[in-house]
Amino acid sequence: MSIDPAAPTAPRAPWFPSLLRGLTGHCPACGEGRLFKGYAKLRADCPTCGTELTPHRADDAPAYFTIFIVGHIVVPLMLLVERIYSPADWVHMAIWMPLTLLLSLLILPRAKGALVGLQWSLDIRRDE
């Protein structure tokens, strides 16, 4: 059985709404069910619509995006504070280390959700 390349394929889901739903931690298909069953542990399927979520694995990409985003927030602020106030080293550590940790913990699950939403909308699967 051959596949006709001229045959129309099923339309893909809009990527931007799916990405936004994942960013907020909701199912990319329905936007109602929760995407995670813990801090960043992906559910097997959506409890509301039943969409299977396990084939959409984010692996290390959310960590890379988190590092990229946090670095672009913290480093310019650190340089600005150093340039204007020149505080002692302990003040820098007291400000920037907790801020870096807090931003990383806030951004990581959102980056993972956005990536899973994008994978779902583009039908990118990693079946094992």
What is the amino acid identity at position 15? Answer: W
Cβ pair 24, 18 in contact under 8 A: no
| Whole-number Å distance between alpha carbons of 25 and 35 | 5
| Whole-number Å distance between alpha carbons of 60 and 83 | 34
Q: What's the confidence (pLDDT) of residue 114?
A: 96
pLDDT tens-digit series, residues 96-117: 999 999 999 999 999 999 999 9
Rounded to two decimals, the pTM is 0.86
Cβ pair 23, 115 in contact under 8 A: no
Residue 89 host element (H or E) = helix 89-121
Q: Percentage of the chain with pLDDT > 70?
A: 89
